[in-house]
Amino acid sequence: MSDLFQIIDPSGKKVGKAPRLKKTILIHMFQAMVRTRAFDDRCMKLQRTGKIGFSVPNRGIEASSVGCAAALDATKDIVAPHYRDFGIMLYHGISPERMMDTMFGNVDDTAVGRQMPVHFSFENPLRYLSISSPLGTQIPQAVGMAMAMQRRDEKGVALTTFGDGSTSTSGFHSGMNFAGVFQTPVVFFCQNNQWAISCASADQTASESYAIKGEAYGVPGVRVDGNDVLAVYQVVAEAVKLARNGGGPTLIEALTFRMGGHSTSDDPTKYVDADLMKEWEAKDPIMRFRAYLLDAGHMTKKEAEAMEADAAEEVLAAARAAGAKGVPPLDSVFGDVFEEMPAHLKVQRDFALHHYSSRGEGVNDKGEFPL
């Protein structure tokens, strides 16, 4: 149980049998990881310069996200994510600009500016369920979505991601328990990044691992090196295959490290030992996969550098485009509460529109009202 499945060691050396993946897929995985880091870096800068209100660092967890993503079939499968998984979206072709729209909460944000940054919702090209701030709530929901696919015999799988802290929530317990009882086609992916804000993994549970928690629910548990994208891909692909073929759920624990704060509002130097941070820097998932791909001759150093530069440029352009868009109209505050707007909300909407227009506020930059 405590064995950590690994294919590439931290130096980039192959230590296990690599999955049979086409070169184009391997490069796509690398690109998604690079874009994840570029997106993360840019969001940190946008927040520090006051352009956006909030972000959650993704540095260090890129292999976990992308390894998961690469094992999914976007035409069939569903993701019920937590908030620290930019790479899943980027791998599946959700553009940096669409993601930036949510970071800015602008008029094109799928959440219509109603949620904080990072709380994405997408359905195309991948069903990526609207993210919630309360933790673990998506876990039983993933089981329900999987159960619906099971009932319709669609061979689809729901993958739900969550951090190590979320294994302490009631949602983890009820989701795992229901999935075990009903043998639903779901993959539980615990991104053990070792910190729940400031609570270290060792203080989160007395279990010898997170994967072992599956045993109590009759759900097989697997531990994988979360900084090894091929190993993550391999274990998720096996779990997805099992679920797709009616073999029930799997709990995967990917051991990784959050190389930053919980969010932009957090200072991890107060509680993360600097030496520990250094130790994990040496296990960086991108450097590792980069070394592996170079060594295998799948890309040249020059090509890798070009991909890195392109990613940074693409993300910067996305941020500029999203930042230039206006905010959602004022009446969007009152939409989507129910499918049909009830009378009391119409009254409140009309009040807001009238009140703010009479104060000369709520007017967009073209001087039009409502916003």
Binding site for other proteins (CB under 8 A): 78, 80, 109-112, 114-115, 119, 121-123, 129-130, 132, 134, 137, 139-149, 151-152, 158, 170-171, 173-175, 177-178, 181, 335-339, 342-345
Helix (H, G, I), strand (E, B) or coil at 108: coil
DSSP, collapsed to helix, strand or coil, labels residue 168 as helix
Min dist CB 245 to other proteins, Å, is 19
At its nearest, how many Å lie between other proteins and the CB of residue 225?
30
For residues 293, 187, 148, 119, the Cα torsion angle rounded to the nearest 10 degrees is -70
| Catalytic, out of 84, 92, 258, 288 | 258
Q: How far is the CB of 244 from other proteins (least distance, A)?
A: 16
CB 231 within 8 A of CB 5: yes
Annotated catalytic residue within 262, 288, 290, 349: 262
Determine how β-strand 195-196 pairs with β-strand 199-200: antiparallel
Nearest-10 Cα torsion for 244, 247, 248, 251: -90
Strands, E assignment, the chain: 78-80, 127-128, 158-163, 186-192, 195-196, 199-200, 221-225, 250-255
Are 91 and 69 spatial neighbours (Cβ–Cβ below 8 Å)?
Answer: yes
Q: Is 98 a catalytic residue?
A: no
CB of 7 to other proteins, least distance (A): 32
Hey, what are 73's tokens?
Answer: 């079939």
The CB-of-285 to other proteins minimum distance in angstroms stands at 30
Query: 223 — phi, psi (to 5°)?
Result: -110, 135
* Residues present in the chain in total: 371
Return the number of the residue (187 or 235) whose C-beta is nearest other proteins: 187
- Which residue in 206, 222, 204 sits closest to 214, CA to CA? 222
Between 33 and 131, name the residue whose CB sits nearer to other proteins. Answer: 131
Q: Is 258 a catalytic residue?
A: yes
Between residues 20 and 338, which has the closer beta carbon with respect to other proteins?
Answer: 338
Of 72 and 232, the one with the shorter C-beta distance to other proteins is 72
Nearer to other proteins, 64 or 160 (CB): 160
Q: 271 catalytic, yes or no?
A: yes
Catalytic residues: 258, 262, 271
